Amino acid sequence: MKTQVAIIGAGPSGLLLGQLLYQNGIDNVILERKSGEYVLSRIRAGVLEHTTVQGLEKAGAAERMHREGLVHEGVELVFNHQHIRVDFEKEIGKHVVVYGQTEVTRDLMDARAATGGITVYEAQDVALHDIDGNQPYVTYTHNGETHRLDCDFIAGCDGFHGVSRQSIPADVLKTYERVYPFGWLGLLSDTPPVSEELIYAKHPNGFALCSQRSTTRSRYYLQVPLSDTVEDWSDERFWAELKNRLPPAYAARLITGPSLEKSIAPLRSFVSEPMRYHALFLAGDAAHIVPPTGAKGLNLAAGDVQCLADAFADYYGNGSSAGIDGYSERCMKRVWAAERFSWYMTKLLHTFPDGDEFEEKMQQAEFNQLKLTEHAAKLLAENYVGLPY
């Protein structure tokens, strides 16, 4: 098989890139290790920035999101039961859309099926070849047979544990990493959200987040020690601890129900530079990870692939290499801004097991600043709603 761009991974990065390339008349094939159902079963992000919404529009996959997504004009932060609402519309005249990553993925899969794009699910042993030569290609096995996909370029959209980043010689990449000493336990339930807006709450026992997928489906998270497993957390224990960490008025009106899904995710900041090595371009979690506290991971991925699609369109449409040559540098500015914001939100709102009273006072002072000066609230709003890509 031959194509212009071979895309590794059918998460949001790979699927969005595939559709953006299709809209620009650029042929592409996606190779995904898992089945389509498995990809859809991963419960992850919920908050879309304006530029992510624009990306889905350009990809022709925004119709259902516009119909069913919930516009959020602000967010609530709670620090040891003191509240502050950051009003995005008032501060910067913008909003975010709450619409689950699962639904984004489903819409992109449907758009791809409608345009006849090829996605090979359950492609095993994907290997990248000759990425620093003139004839890059990818091999994989499918249904027991080995296949070869020749291409001009490879887009590594295969997440943090994928094969693409690992195919770049180690001495070419510079990596930066911070692993946080806790994880997030997430619970999905068919219960109405406790509040219309998201609530990020800091409590001495740890962080809690009240998020949602619709007016009837909630997504809640609790900070837990890394040694905990899902089996340690019955639904009853989860709801009791969530109530404990929320201000009493919210705890009193929290509606609980059986969990549809529960999982624990570790928290990490990670960047590898550069995002290009000859014919290989990394995008999304393959190149960088943020802790979920700033709701930035999916949005960064969507920004990367919009840059990459623009760059390929310029290359194939105008014969210009400027976009592909500037890809990494262009993405990195936004990546580091999102890394900073996600790290800041994580430090502000979590209880650090090795933290002391001084750090606790610093967190309180930081929170007070958000309450006292509108500049601080504006800065948070700007970063949360999203910096331009």
Residues of this chain, 219-278, that bind ligand PHB according to CB under 6 A: 219
SS3 content of the chain, % helix, strand, coil (to 5): 40, 30, 30
Bridge partners (DSSP) of residue 145 are: 142
55 sits near ligand PHB (criterion: CB under 6 A): no
Q: Does the active-site annotation cover 384?
A: yes
Q: Quick check: is 174 catalytic?
A: no
Smaller CB separation from ligand RFL, 152 or 304: 304
Q: Of 143-162, which residues contact ligand RFL (CB under 6 A)?
A: 157-159, 162
CA dihedral 57, 60, 63, 66 (to 10 degrees): -10
Closer residue to ligand PHB (CB): 47 or 335: 47
Does 69 participate in binding ligand PHB (rule CB under 6 A)?
A: no
Shortest Å, Cβ 221 to ligand PHB: 7
CB 70, CB 212: distance < 8 Å? yes
Q: Sheet containing 145-150: which strands, arranged edge to edge? A: 124-129, 137-142, 145-150
Residue 45 interacting with ligand PHB (CB under 6 A): yes
- Read off the DSSP letter of residue 190: S
**Residue 291 annotated among the catalytic residues of the structure:** no
Which residue type does 286 have?
A
- Kindly state the smallest distance separating residue 265's Cβ from ligand RFL, in Å: 4
| Between 263 and 368, CB nearer to ligand RFL | 263
Instruction: For the CB of residue 213, give the shortest distance to ligand PHB in the complex, in Å.
Output: 7
Residue 69 binding target from ligand PHB, ligand RFL, none, CB below 5 to 8 Å by type: none
Q: Residues near 280 by Cβ (< 8 Å), separated by ≥ 6? A: 128, 131, 136, 153, 154, 156, 164, 167, 168
Which of ligand RFL, ligand PHB, none is residue 219 near (CB under 5 to 8 Å by kind)? ligand PHB
- Strands 206-212 and 199-203 turn out to be antiparallel
Among 12, 136, 291, 292, which one carries the catalytic annotation?
A: 292
* Among 339, 364, 338, residue whose Cα is nearest residue 351: 364
348 binds, among ligand RFL, ligand PHB, none (CB under 5 to 8 A by kind): none
Cα–chain center distance at 292: 8
Nearest residue (CB) to ligand PHB, 209 versus 348: 209
Sites for ligand PHB among residues 201-230 (CB under 6 A): 209, 211, 219
Stretch that binds ligand PHB, among 42-50, 233-241, 281-289, 374-382 (CB under 6 A): 42-50
Q: With respect to ligand PHB, which residue has the nearer C-beta, 293 or 306?
A: 293
CA atoms 204, 236, 297, 183: torsion sign: positive
Alpha-carbon dihedral sign for residues 22, 26, 29, 32: negative
Query: Does the protein bind ligand RFL through residue 308 (CB under 6 A)?
Result: no
User: What is the three-class DSSP state of 373?
Assistant: coil
Q: Which residues are marked as active site? A: 72, 200, 292, 296, 384
Binding residues for ligand PHB (CB under 6 A): 45-47, 198, 209, 211, 219, 292-293, 295
